[in-house]
A = this chain, B = another copy of it.
Amino acid sequence: MAKKYKVTPWEVSGEIDYDRLIKEFGVKPLDEKILERMEKHTGELHYFLKRKIFFAHTYFDTVLDQAEKKNKFYLYTGRAPSGPVHLGHLVPWIFCKWLQDKFDVNLLFQIPDEEKFLFNENLTLEDTKKWAHENILDIIAVGFDPKKTRIFLDTEYAGVMYKHACRIAKKVTFSTAKSIFGFTDSNNLGEIFYTSMQSVPAFLPTILEGKTTYCLIPCAIDQQPHFFLTNDVAPKLGYPKTATILARFLPGLQGMHQEGKMSSSVESTTIFTTETPEQVRNKINKYAFSGGRETTEEHRKHGGNPDIDVSYQYLTYFLEDSAQLKKIYDDYKSGKMLTGELKQITIQVINKFLKEHQSRREKAKGMVEKFMMRG
């Protein structure tokens, strides 16, 4: 029986079948052939690619075409500021930084503070702005090049964006938006317009510099519907289609079968970037769904299941050493490694990662203005 799940820009739930999602969304898998083409430029493949954490794309070949002609493209990604940043949010940003370094390209980082306000009854614009400023510290902590990165809040940059959003909005009927996003007559006017603002950065360098500039968007796959709309409009305005490179979601602590992704709104599913080593240890020990057996004896005898074990899954995202990862996989599967031991490794890996992130996040406080772009 087909699993039930939902993936939209505003809701991700259920146990996601990514192979089916590729077909449903009409995106392409990141296959060997395109990864080989990419490796010619990057010299190596990020482990997110080898492990299929980034697993799908649209029009990525057109960006590689540009790279082969020595034409610069640029990156565009974003963060809707509705709460604190968690580990899952960092995944596309880490990959984005890697792309920035390897291709030596600019990055536009959108903070659509109005989006979460419009789609969430309980958030004010003051709330989303506050979270924006918190979240920007996490973004900068990822290590983007301040000379090549511009971060902007929609409400602050609207003086530039709004008129271009109108040019996009003019080309999209409510009927089209309904079919892409499932809107109804109960959606508010801001929700309906918002997608036009999310399309703007996909065209902005082409508009502002007056020459065609290709755009690559690294993001989680839930954002893809916006960029279907972007690409529906692009040829009507004489812009190139925008490319996306798409990540799966970091599972919540309760596991892939419980929650579609780690979610800021459910604290017990989530490890935030500002948590202490103690908090991380407690959360993983208490909540991380285990693929182990009921008893130590049974585990030693039959082995555990790393494929559903959340601690192991987190290692696939945060442990770079593939040989070590394989050994952990094999040892856990054979029963040689117990759940407690696996959790200790994951706690160490995540706490090491967070220690470094938090140190950079602290330094980021003095760097914000180097990154910001205002209207």
Contacts and interface: CB of A to CB of B under 8 A. Distances in A.
A295 interface: no
A174 B170 CA distance: 17
Number of identical monomers bound together in the oligomeric complex? 2
A161 B193 CA distance: 15
Contact of A162 (B155, B167, B172): B155
Interface in A132-165: 154-163, 165
Report the contact-size class of chain A (Cβ under 8 Å from the partner): 35 or more
Interface in A210-245: none
Contact of A118 (B125, B170, B375): B170
A83 B195 CA distance: 30
Residue with the greatest number of chain B CB neighbours at <10 A, chosen from A161, A162, A183, A186: A162
Interface in A272-320: none
Chief secondary structure at chain A's binding surface: helix
B189 A185 contact: no
A197 to B, nearest CB: 9
A178 interface: yes
A190 B174 contact: no
A117 B171 CA distance: 11
A188 interface: yes
Contacts of A157: 159
Contacts of A172: 188-189
A58 interface: no
